[in-house]
Amino acid sequence: MRRTVRLSAEASDRYQKFDEENRPLLSDDFFLSKEDAGYFVKEDQAQGYFSASFHEDEADISFCFSRGISFEDACEDLHLLSEKCIRRAHPKKIVCLPEPRYIHVLQACGYYQKGTVYQKKIEPWRRQLRDTVFDQEGYIINQGAMEKIPFGWFTTDAKGCGWIAAYNLMKMCGREQTMQETAEQMGDHALLGAVCGEPLHALYLYLRRKGCGCGLSKPWDGDALKCMQKSRYGILLYTHKDGAHYTAYRSLENGRKLFYNAVYGREDHEETAAGFLAQRELLPFASVIYVN
């Protein structure tokens, strides 16, 4: 589980060894004049530091990661910090004075250069939606609360699972773009205003064009499960009693999967792939768009 821990005497005692190795990497003013500051933590192990301050319509952030952190973990920590800032102050933008070694992380997480800083503008759709639509890293997990967001001729709560899964997967792949851009691009090409949602091959080709480097399983459970087993991330298409549904997933180190927007509003939804289908699937014809 990924989280943040605020600076405190207790936290300093807990992460004393981490501080001895990594605190010297910080500038003298890293924690000065900051309203929120602390550690990035994964599975109770510190991975880095963050600090944030808030002004009118703007959040200013700083971060530093431990040596050897993976690109994936660095991106997820920055997602966590960005979502933390959004929930606290609902700013119009988040601004960071970058270090060159982290520019690729910033770019992967939707930040872009503006003069001497990198910034991330918070799109209008995000400010329309309740925080509970998202998990702590900003992935969409509650399609049912998105009735104000259009998709084709319909609304996202009714027909939007395909674009939601695409948005979540691109975010995992370091190709984050806005919700509005994703929904409008996919909705503009959907058959009859997305009356049947998003066709599987159209979704697959869209993600390929976006550079996700994905593959497509054969349309039955055996091959879908085999592809899920070897993949890092992906999108599962399956049928249940109410019809077809797309859900993005991430592979965990324990061999299980973390599912997004499969059960509306459920955060940290962890299951085996086989167990997920056994519990929910109506017909044994699942398909997977997968990224190795």
Residues 85 and 116 in one domain: yes
| Residue bearing tokens 């605190």 | 23
Among 76, 98, 122, identify where a domain stops. 122
Copy the structure tokens of residue 34: 């900051």
**Can you give the CATH number for the domain in which 91 is found?**
3.40.630.30
| Vertex 291 angle, CA 290 and 292, to 5° | 115
Give 71: exposed, middle or buried? Use CB within 10 Å, 0-12, 13-18, 19+.
Answer: exposed
**Length of the chain measured in residues:** 292
**Can you give the CATH number for the domain in which 286 is found?**
3.90.70.10
Residue 90's domain comprises: 2-122
pTM of the model: 0.94
Residues 6 or more apart whose CB falls under 8 angstroms from that of 68 comprise none
Residues 160 and 269 in one domain: yes
Residues 113 and 136 in one domain: no
Provide the number of structural domains found in the chain. 2
Residues 139 and 263 in one domain: yes
DSSP string, 101-146: GGHHHHHHTT-EEETTEEEEEPPHHHHHS-GGGB-TTS-B--GGG-
Residues 182 and 240 in one domain: yes
Residues 238 and 272 in one domain: yes
Q: Tell me the C-alpha distance between 224 and 289, whole Å.
A: 9
pLDDT the model gives residue 85: 96
Number of other residues whose CB lies within 10 A of the CB of residue 265: 14
pLDDT, tens digit (0-9, with 9 covering 90-100), for 12-47: 999 999 999 999 989 888 987 778 999 999 999 999
Long-range contacts of 120-125 (CB under 8 A, 24+ apart): 120/82, 120/93, 120/94, 121/92, 121/93, 122/86, 122/90, 122/91, 122/92, 122/93, 122/94, 123/178, 123/179, 123/180, 124/180, 125/149, 125/178, 125/179, 125/180
Lowest-confidence segment of 71-85, 142-156, 179-193, 203-217 by average pLDDT: 179-193
Q: Taking 70 as the threshold, does the pLDDT of residue 61 lie above it?
A: yes
> pLDDT band for position 194 (50/70/90)?
very low
DSSP string, 143-171: GGG-TTSEETTEEHHHH-HHHHHHHHHHH
Residues 286 and 199 in one domain: yes
Among 90, 122, 154, identify where a domain stops. 122
Residues 108 and 169 in one domain: no
Q: Taking 50 as the threshold, does the pLDDT of residue 166 lie above it?
A: yes
Residues 145 and 250 in one domain: yes
248: alpha, beta or left? (left if phi > 0; alpha if psi -120 to 50): beta
Residues 63 and 108 in one domain: yes
Q: Tell me the C-alpha distance between 267 and 263, whole Å.
A: 9
> pLDDT band for position 234 (50/70/90)?
very high
Residues 67 and 174 in one domain: no
> pLDDT band for position 192 (50/70/90)?
very low
pLDDT, tens digit (0-9, with 9 covering 90-100), for 117-159: 999 999 999 999 999 999 999 999 999 999 999 988 889 999 8
> pLDDT band for position 191 (50/70/90)?
low
Residues 70 and 116 in one domain: yes
CB 157 within 8 A of CB 144: yes
Among 63, 91, 122, identify where a domain stops. 122
- The closest alpha carbon to 168, from 125, 224, 207, 222, belongs to 207
Specify the amino acid at residue 102. Answer: Y
As a whole number, the mean pLDDT across the chain is 93
